[in-house]
Amino acid sequence: MESILLLAHTEPDGSLARPALEALAAAKNLGGPLHIGLVGAQVQPAADRVAGAGAARILAVRGEAFGQPRYATDAAAAEALCRASGAAIVIAPSTSRWSRALPGLAFRLDGRVDTHATALAIENGVPAVTRWFYRQRMEGVLTRSQRPWIILLDAGCVPAWSGAPATAAVETVELAAETRTTVTGTRSPEAGEQTIRPDAKLLFVAGAGWTKKQSDGATHTPEAEKLILDFLRASRASLGGSKSLVDLSGEGEAVLRFMTHLNQIGQTGATPRHPKGLSTCCHGEEPHAVGWRFIGERRAVNLDANCGWARGKADVLYVADAFAVMREVNALLGR
């Protein structure tokens, strides 16, 4: 087996986030000689965390400038670590930071990059990468002859490596931080309450039905908001939305105020990974349900027994009024 470099950037406190430990597990499963390359302002806590992973060398580019997510310094640090390790296969977690910098790294090293890998394995004696195409409609397995081969592994696909920490020896790779870009801060959309929780056991999806006229001929949006937020607070579920619903929110209409486009699930939205999913007041159209590809067990509540979920897209469809169901669920959770 060819040599492997696990490439990880550290968090502000010097630790490693879970996606990095998942990528480490994937690298170890391949079985070749392993090197670990760390980038960050602080790297010792991360190195200690992975000291028991059996890496031949732990290399690091460190310094304040490398703590900030910035293409110029990230790509340069990754390049220095790849050259120092000489590894043929480079595995990294699909963080926003690496997703931005590593395609450029492949160009610098005259290698190749594959993003959104969901599995790595040895097939016919060579590494093979699994990924999905056409918004998760087709699964492909591919090998490549070009090296170095840089692979970005999506989060949530492999159980994280969990060996015991120890004190690690780190080899510093010296690199001057050359950049014209200064990071002055981060701005994120104002979503009020944090409702997207990638680690939650349950994905709760709200569809446009929550804002539609109900059997009494009136809309009940304030009650919908309260039912959904009470459920999220009690269950710690992650909140997803259908496109129709998040588009309404974007137009500033009197709809669920905590819903943004970041919550959208589907072909033009996200494809999250949760063990279970519960869809409410959402029709289950194909462009929406395709975003449920990686949800383990799917249930839906819809008044319409003929909705999309009834056509093989959900494991269980409750033909019921979601207002009544969620009122009861919240009462049970409150007990």
Contact residues toward ligand FAD (CB under 6 A) are 207-209, 212, 214, 242-245, 264-269, 281-283, 285, 287-288, 291, 301-304, 307, 321-323
How many Cβ atoms are within 10 Å of 302's Cβ, its own excluded? 25
Q: What minimum distance in Å lies between the beta carbon of 209 and ligand FAD?
A: 2
**CB nearer ligand FAD, residue 39 or residue 208:** 208
Alpha-carbon distance 77 to 74, whole Å?
A: 5
Q: Which of 91, 102, 112, 109 is nearest to 30 (CA)?
A: 91
Q: What minimum distance in Å lies between the beta carbon of 204 and ligand FAD?
A: 13
Cα-based distances in Å from 72 to 66, 69, 79: 10, 9, 11
Alpha-carbon distance 77 to 59, whole Å?
A: 11
**CB nearer ligand FAD, residue 36 or residue 282:** 282
**CB nearer ligand FAD, residue 104 or residue 287:** 287
Angle between helices 322-334 and 221-235 (to 10 degrees): 40
Q: What minimum distance in Å lies between the beta carbon of 193 and ligand FAD?
A: 21
Q: What minimum distance in Å lies between the beta carbon of 322 and ligand FAD?
A: 3
**CB nearer ligand FAD, residue 10 or residue 280:** 280
Q: What minimum distance in Å lies between the beta carbon of 277 and ligand FAD?
A: 13
Enter the DSSP assignment of 229. H
**CB nearer ligand FAD, residue 160 or residue 319:** 319
**CB nearer ligand FAD, residue 17 or residue 270:** 270
**CB nearer ligand FAD, residue 238 or residue 242:** 242
Strand order in the sheet with 202-206: 238-241, 202-206, 276-280, 297-302, 316-319
Q: What minimum distance in Å lies between the beta carbon of 280 and ligand FAD?
A: 6
- Strands 238-241, 202-206: pairing is parallel
Q: What minimum distance in Å lies between the beta carbon of 212 and ligand FAD?
A: 5
Alpha-carbon distance 204 to 326, whole Å?
A: 11
Alpha-carbon distance 217 to 225, whole Å?
A: 18
